[in-house]
């Protein structure tokens, strides 16, 4: 998810998307621990998406 897409979401949508993405990251980590993923770079991409969402939420709370 790109930063421009994240900025267009409402705060409620951001919180919902953040929880979904964290769950997805957790599932990917578990699957990777059991058997290696075909594309382990997915873990990095999802982790960075979580960080982008959390950063945008923090930025909005500060305003």
pLDDT digits (tens, 9 = 90+) for 23-63: 999 999 999 999 999 999 999 999 999 999 999 999 999 88
Confidence (pLDDT) at 1: 84
Confidence (pLDDT) at 32: 96
Confidence (pLDDT) at 30: 96
Residue with more model confidence, 1 or 12: 12
Q: Taking the model in full, what pTM does it have?
A: 0.91
Mean pLDDT within 1-29: 95
Interior/surface letters 14-31, b for 16+ CB within 10 angstroms, e for the rest = beebbeebbeebeebeee
């Amino acid at each position: 998810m790109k930063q421009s897409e994240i900025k267009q979401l409402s705060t409620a949508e951001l919180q919902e998307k953040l929880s979904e993405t964290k769950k997805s990251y957790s599932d990917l980590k578990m699957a990777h621990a059991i058997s290696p993923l075909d594309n382990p770079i997915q873990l990095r991409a999802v982790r960075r998406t979580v960080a982008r969402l959390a950063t945008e939420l923090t930025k909005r709370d500060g305003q």
